Structures are given as C-alpha cells and as structure tokens.
Amino acid sequence: MRGYSLQAGALAFLGVLWAAPLAAADVPSGQRVTLHEVLVDAQEDTTYLRFRFLAPQIGGGADKIDFATAGEDMLHLCTVLVLPYMAEYALEGDKIVMSFMAQITEFGQPDPEVTQYFESFYVEDDICIWDEF
C-alpha cells in the first residue's frame, strides 16, 4: 500500500482553510471535528482519497458519539467538504474513505487504544453514495 500526501502547496492551503475545528453546527451531530490530513492512496487498480478527521468525541459511553451518528456526519462532510475539495484540487479517486479518530494516529498503524470509525463512499452525479468496504 502506498499512501502519500498531496503536493506541499495544496497542503499549505488546506492548513489555512481547514486548520480550525469545524463549528459544532457544521455536522449533524454537533460534535467538533478537525480535518487532519488528506491522502491519495493508489493500490493496484483503485485510487482511494482518504480524508482523516480528528473527532475526540467518538467512542463508547453515554457522552460519546456512536458509529451510526458519526456515519451521518461523514456523509454530510463528504458532500459539503470533500466534493468541493476534489473540485478545487482536480482530484479523482475511485473511492473516498472518511475516517474519524479520537486521537491523531499514524496512517496505516493500528492503535487499539484509539477509537476510529471508517466509512467508504463513491461519487456519482456529484453525490456521495455510501459504499461497503
């Protein structure tokens, strides 16, 4: 598996545009999420665009955001953030993988101490559509 970040200029712009946490109203659940990084991951005949978010409120427990709720947030972010981002940077991919992590983790390195949620989407007619892994 090869993962790599977008070119430096694009990342610098991304840092300025999305460095601050999104306001609670920016996702349906009201949780605060921060875009951590965007990776382009080419594997055999599939290109994945990976959007990794810090979402410290996810996990188990009464005061945490569960997987189903986070999934709705991911679909929302795919529509309002990912699609415009792809257009801005002329990115194309076969699949969009959204991940929420309770703490920042290194990509591709499992950390059993950190809750992470993943959803996969594909784009059809400028609409994000849920896709099973």
Mean pLDDT of the chain: 81
Query: Of 121 and 34, which is predicted with more confidence?
Result: 121
Query: In the numeric block, which tokens belong to residue 52?
Result: 């990794």
Place of tokens 């427990």: 61
| Contacts (Cβ under 8 Å, ≥6 apart) of 105 | 111, 114, 116
Q: Which of 82, 76, 27 is nearest to 55 (CA)?
A: 27
9 has a pLDDT exceeding 70: no
In the prediction, which pLDDT does 11 show?
36
Task: Categorize the per-residue pLDDT at 21 as very low, low, confident or very high, splitting at 50, 70 and 90.
Answer: very low
- Do the beta carbons of residue 102 and residue 58 sit within 8 Å? yes
Q: Which of 81, 73, 24, 34 is nearest to 54 (CA)?
A: 34
Task: Categorize the per-residue pLDDT at 121 as very low, low, confident or very high, splitting at 50, 70 and 90.
Answer: very high
In the prediction, which pLDDT does 17 show?
35
Task: Categorize the per-residue pLDDT at 22 as very low, low, confident or very high, splitting at 50, 70 and 90.
Answer: low
Q: Which of 108, 132, 117, 133 is nearest to 77 (CA)?
A: 117
- Residues 108-118 have a mean pLDDT of 92
